[in-house]
Amino acid sequence: MSLHEYRRKRRFDRTREPEPGAPPRGERAIFVVQLHHASRRHYDFRLQVGDALKSWAVPKGPSYDPAVKRMAVEVEDHPLGYAGFEGEIPHGEYGGGHVARFDTGVWATDGDPQAQLAKGHLRFELFGRKLKGGWHLVRSGKPARQPQWLLFKDRDEYAGTLEADDLLADVASPPAADAQRAGRGKPRKRRLAEVAPARARRRDWAAAARKLPGARRAPFDGGAFELQLARLVEAPPPGEQWLHELKWDGYRIGVGVAAGRARLWSRNALEWTRKIPEIAAAVEALGLDSAALDGELIAGRGAREDFNLLQATLSGEKQGALSLVVFDLLHLDGWDLSAAPLLQRKALLEQLLQRAGPHLRYSSHILGEGERAYALADEQGFEGIVSKRADRAQHPGRSDEWRKSKRLASDEFAVVGYTPPKGARSGFGALLLARPDPAHGWSYAGRVGSGFSADLLARISKRLPRGAAAPTVHVPPHDTDLRAARWFAPALVVEAFYRGVGGHGLLRQASFKTLREDKTPAALADRDRGPGAAARLRSNSNSNSGPPPKRTAMTRKAAKASAGKAKAGKTRTGKSQAAADLDDFRLTSPERVVYPDIGASKRDVAAYYLAMADWLLPDIVDRPLSIVRCTQGAARPCFFQKHHTAGLDDVDSVSLEEESGQRADYLVVRDLAGLMNLVQFNALEFHPWGATAQRPDRADRIVFDLDPGSGVPWTEVIAAARQLRSLLAKLELQSFVRTSGGKGLHVVVPLNPGCDWDLVKPFAHSFAETLAQMEPLKYIATATKKFRNGKIFVDYLRNGRGATSVASFSLRAREGAPVAMPLRWEELGRVKSGHAFDIRSAQARVKRLRRHPWAGIDAVRQDLDRLAERLQRLRPDD
């Protein structure tokens, strides 16, 4: 249920309960349980899912006995602010009575909680002071006015005989009148404020620790300690003296234990104990008096694809289960082990973790055989390996005794500026990156503009200084236009993927990986690379994709192309800056005529896409892509291409499974260089999937193509688009419109967070069929041309996995070089046809635009939940 129901039931001028507002960001997903003396005493059990608290009323409260299944009645969602509410709800108001907080903390689950709730069984873990371990919510099959569920404990180390009423020692008592009216609950002897963690059977670990070579007796206070760091190398070192571990993709965590209590520290000595309480509890369950552990916090398997889940869990967007993979043991029950050989420290660590729960894992290794370990890591989807001298003591800081080898090049950079956003984008266009430089302090390394979600754009934008027009770092001769950039001193640290380094040290095809909250720009001065690292990076970054790509003219730009600009905006050669920029790209046969009816050449096409890149790229970047290539011009036969081929050096690819069951490499554009590479290959049209390359099975766009048959006037096409908009609004779906560049219009429905194709395609089909049934003389939902005269074909076929539709601002391979142009709904009536904009007028239009016609589309949050209920609203008798 939505927060609308919560608001409807309350009068906020009479109750102190919080009104729905903007949810807090950046914290983990929470749970809260409140003891409520309303007309009847009960516990309110609430789990954060998305931006609201899913809520159940549990009359008898949770029980630690797995055999006891407590009824939980689903009630309306509550705002996140309700987690902090305590006190009296006035009598006569909804829920009148006393509310006290019983317990709160964070929670986690494996998988999508919404999907589990929809199926009727949510398995989850709670990390509070009183409620701990695994739990279940199972929907009852009994018919009832409100959905009924069963809440019960999992059979884990916390299971026992405790009841919620045993844990009221620190819970505020209700007024006597409320207690008398609502009931006090059954009297219980035990009144606890906290449930102690289950501890492992005590073992004399000190006796085992002191046997290690180099062990010495020493106290330890559980505080932060300096970690050993690895240098980046091209390949793992040979020799039996090296052990090789997976390079886990997560956050480094140091664990300190003193007097049995665990404290967790990030790499830059920030305390994370409250942020990841499940890890602290798992360490305390080991039953140690003192210890120092070194590990990596991960989600899922800890592979490359799991890093986003880790970030989303820590920020509260998801509820993933977290683990600490432990790879070193430096102190144990009064003994400092840092001088012992690593191999022996790890052997003792493995014994220590044998009975640990699922939130602590041992990081296993391979002795010798570095190349085999490297290959296995790549096969299993990990970023690489870390190789460590097995016979050495621990040495804080960076040294050659720990070395990391990566398959996919990524590195950390300081953020020193940004370019302004264009089109529908908000916040910034791209971040400007810099790396430490002994000669200049900091040197510009390139920009990163792809890989940002809407939430990341908003979060990072708030932390960017205002900046100035003058660069704050050394800027070598470069290949990007930074005239509108804003610069500031190094402020943040980000990690970015890239596909090699260009001739002036600038990153090629950079994409954002993560914001490194655990690092500062000052820490980057201690780089994790030895001599010759730049050459190794250029080699290593392409080790998983065949031979290194050829350098394009863009990466060979010489200083004279930008150093000799006159005040009038011209180069020494007299060319305009736009022409000079175009000359930076490889373009063969630039004068060949592509559109013979208007005399437009290949150079004109390239100039168009260069000028429109900031508007077009957001529609195609990071999506599987089909292109229309016209090697002999638009007037001759053209062909579709969707698979990667040789020569597309600046175009990325993604391996996707096709209907045949075979896998193929699909085109993916990551940046301007990729776009212009395709233009060089005579691409005229760009047709992206309605899904990203990262999540190809989750649709984030629905496109209805209104294709008029012969005899249908343009005014009816406009009316049809408006009717679709109205009907979609009845289904609580916001939509946007664009000209197709052909005869018709596209009505586009964004989906966020997206849906599976097996839901999207039937929905689009049903919607089109419903329109045809409502007005059979106006619409048709079948593609057969002989039935389409005088009707508008509602083409829903662009909404299956692998189907595409033309991108906004793409040219079409048709007479006149028309353009698919996004519109504001209010300007639709002024447009004269589906091909009203062309290669020239489109550029003139965007120069007049103050913002993208679809501004805000990325902020729309909508999906196809409750599909059957919504489709009922489209019945023909409406």
Residues 758-811: tens digit of each pLDDT? 899 999 999 999 999 999 889 998 876 667 788 999 999 889 999 999 999 999
What pLDDT sits at residue 580?
A: 35
Q: Is 581 helix (H, G, I), strand (E, B) or coil?
A: helix
Neighbours of 643 (CB within 10 A): 12
Give counts: helices (H), strands (E), the chain: 19, 39
839-868 pLDDT per residue, tens: 999 999 999 998 999 999 988 999 887 664
Q: Rounded CA gap, 759 and 697, in Å? A: 11
- Identify the CATH class of 577-688: alpha beta
What pLDDT score was predicted for residue 1?
A: 46
> How would residue 480 be classed by pLDDT, with cut points 50, 70 and 90?
low
The label of the residue with tokens 């987690």 reads 83
| Average pLDDT for 645-663 | 82
- 825 or 201: whose pLDDT is higher? 825
* Known catalytic residue at 247: yes
Dihedrals phi, psi of 348, to nearest 5 degrees = -70, -40
In angstroms and rounded to an integer, the radius of gyration of the C-alpha atoms of the chain is 31
CA–CA distance, 154 with 167 (Å, rounded to integer): 19
- Specify the pLDDT at position 577: 32
Q: What contacts 73, CB < 8 A, 6 or more positions away?
A: 56, 57, 58, 144, 146, 147, 148, 149
Which residue type sits at 691? Answer: A
Mean of pLDDT values over 629-635: 86
**Amino acid at position 102, single letter:** F
Domain 698-873 has CATH 3.90.920.10: yes
pLDDT at residue 555 in the model:
26
Give me the pLDDT at residue 726, please. 94
What DSSP character marks residue 74?
A: E
Q: Tokens standing for 827?
A: 């300007």
pLDDT for res 359: 94
At residue 51, the pLDDT reads 87
Most confident by average pLDDT, 17-31, 112-126, 566-580 = 112-126
Angle between helices 841-848 and 602-611 (to 10 degrees): 10
Averaged confidence pLDDT in the chain? 86
Cα 787 off chain centre by:
45
Identify the weakest region by mean pLDDT among 69-83, 116-130, 260-274, 308-322: 308-322
Q: Catalytic: which of 247, 404, 406, 602?
A: 247
Residue 214 confidence class, pLDDT cut points 50, 70, 90: very high
Domains 577-688 and 698-873 share a fold: yes
CATH of 410-540 among 3.40.50.720, 2.40.50.140, 3.30.420.280, 3.30.30.60: 2.40.50.140
- Where along the chain do its domains lie? 3-182, 205-406, 410-540, 577-688, 698-873
* pTM metric for this prediction: 0.54
Instruction: Quote the tokens at residue 547.
Output: 């031979």
Confidence of residue 17 (pLDDT cuts 50, 70, 90): very high
Q: What type of residue is 519?
A: K
pLDDT digits (tens, 9 = 90+) for 556-574: 232 222 223 222 233 222 3
The confidence score (pLDDT) of residue 430 equals 92
pLDDT band (50, 70, 90) for residue 581: low
Q: Please tell me the predicted confidence (pLDDT) of residue 506.
A: 83
Q: Tell me the average pLDDT across 213-227.
A: 94
List CB contacts of 144: < 8 A, sequence separation 6 or more: 73
Ranges 66-70, 481-485, 531-535, most confident: 66-70
Q: What is the pLDDT of residue 660?
A: 66
Strands (E), 205-250: 216-217, 228-233, 242-246
- Confidence check: pLDDT of 534 > 50: no
Share of the chain above pLDDT 70, in %: 89
Q: What is the DSSP string of 80-142?
A: GGGGG--EEEPTTSTT-EEEEEEEEEEEE-SS-HHHHHHHTEEEEEEEESS-EEEEEEEE--S
Tell me 517's DSSP state: T
| Dihedral in degrees, nearest 10, Cα atoms 714, 716, 721, 727 | 180
pLDDT of the residue at 203: 85
Q: Degrees (nearest 5) of the Cα angle 716, 720, 725?
A: 150
- DSSP calls for 624-683: EEEEEE-TT-TTS--EEE-B--TT-TT-EEEEEE-TTS-EEEEEE--SHHHHHHHHHTTE
The CATH architecture to which 205-406 belongs is 2-Layer Sandwich (3.30)
pLDDT, one tens digit per residue, over 412-458 is 999 999 999 887 788 899 999 999 887 778 889 999 988 888 888 88
Instruction: Please tell me the distance from the alpha carbon of residue 473 to that of residue 496, in angstroms, as a whole number.
Output: 19
Q: Is the peptide bond before 618 cis (omega within 30 degrees of 0)?
A: no
